[in-house]
Amino acid sequence: MSKIIDTHTHIYDEQFQEDFDDVMKNIKEQMEGIVSIGFDMESSLKSIELANKYDFVHAVIGIHPVDIKKYNAEVDKELERLALSEKKVVAIGEIGLDYHWMEDPEEVQKEGFRRQIELAERVKLPIVIHTREALQDTLDILKEYPCVGGILHCYPGSFQAAKPFLDRYYIGVGGTVTFKNNRKTKELVKELPLDRIVLETDCPYLTPVPFRGKRNNPVYTSYVAEEIARIKEISTEEVIEVTTENAKKIYKL
């Protein structure tokens, strides 16, 4: 029987410090693997370090839109060097646009997003996208790079808006699909073909029901798989089997 891959974690977060060994032990026993996603250089390096230490961990490196002021030519060069030399780096991310926090002007965010997509193109890796209150601009930029694919993490849009991108992008579905009033995500999951969905936690954030409000944990992806199965009226086993296959494909695991 297939086991789950959590395609989006921040497992290096200080919220995991206290019981880190236990958390990793449970992941190793219960899951196929997890992907540790960086949001700046420090967390990207931490992700690589964990990936090199644990065989079931893989690393994604990049500068998050909220931290985009940390991005410059030197950082870009270092990310490229790491992407080419570190075998367990499987994508560039999380990158994108965040107009909610608006730490930097739209144009600065767009520039950092484009430069990092071009970096991914050069090193031939997929991208992991963060988009918040900036969906149209995000999709417009993705259109400029028809040869790049990846994962739209925590995708907030409709199926119709995602449709033109589904030939090369997967949609990351996480804990929010279990929230009772989240009709939008439930509707999206209903319409999305299963072969375009990957599971994610974004842990320690976005914890699914029944643990909503507590620290999220990669093993809780099982609740996400169960909810997707319920919505699509298929078995949880099928959800896990196909989404794990999808994760392996996009990250080339």
Which one, 202 or 227, has the nearer CB to Zn ion?
A: 202
* Nearest Cα residue to 236 out of 246, 227, 245, 247: 227
Q: What residue number has its CB nearest to Zn ion?
A: 202
The count of residues interacting with Zn ion (CB under 5 A) is: 1
3-state secondary structure of 197: strand
* Nearest Cα residue to 87 out of 123, 114, 112: 123
Encoding tokens for residue 74? Answer: 């030197």
Which one, 98 or 202, has the nearer CB to Zn ion?
A: 202
Can you tell me the distance from the alpha carbon of 69 to that of 147, in angstroms, rounded to the nearest whole number? 27
Helix (H) or strand (E) holding 199, with range, is: strand 197-199
Which one, 128 or 228, has the nearer CB to Zn ion?
A: 128
134: number of Cβ within 10 Å:
23
Which one, 86 or 94, has the nearer CB to Zn ion?
A: 94
98 binds Zn ion (CB under 5 A): no
Which one, 96 or 231, has the nearer CB to Zn ion?
A: 96
Report in angstroms how near the CB of residue 10 gets to Zn ion at its nearest. Answer: 6
Report in angstroms how near the CB of residue 45 gets to Zn ion at its nearest. Answer: 16
Report in angstroms how near the CB of residue 125 gets to Zn ion at its nearest. Answer: 17
Report in angstroms how near the CB of residue 8 gets to Zn ion at its nearest. Answer: 6
Quick note: the x/- pattern for Zn ion over 9-48, rule CB under 5 A, is ----------------------------------------
Which one, 170 or 231, has the nearer CB to Zn ion?
A: 170
- The phi and psi torsions of 144 (rounded to 5 degrees) equal -70, -15
Which one, 40 or 202, has the nearer CB to Zn ion?
A: 202
Chain centre to alpha carbon of residue 223: 17
Exposure pattern of 65-100 as b/e (b: 16+ CB <10 Å)? bbbbeebeeebbeebbebbeebebbbbbbbbbbbee
Report in angstroms how near the CB of residue 221 gets to Zn ion at its nearest. Answer: 14
Report in angstroms how near the CB of residue 74 gets to Zn ion at its nearest. Answer: 24
Quick note: the x/- pattern for Zn ion over 190-209, rule CB under 5 A, is ------------x-------
Ramachandran class of 252: left when φ > 0, alpha when ψ lies in -120 to 50, beta otherwise: left
Report in angstroms how near the CB of residue 234 gets to Zn ion at its nearest. Answer: 27
Task: Determine contact, residues 219/26, Cβ cutoff 8 Å.
Answer: yes
Interacting residues with Zn ion (CB under 5 A): 202
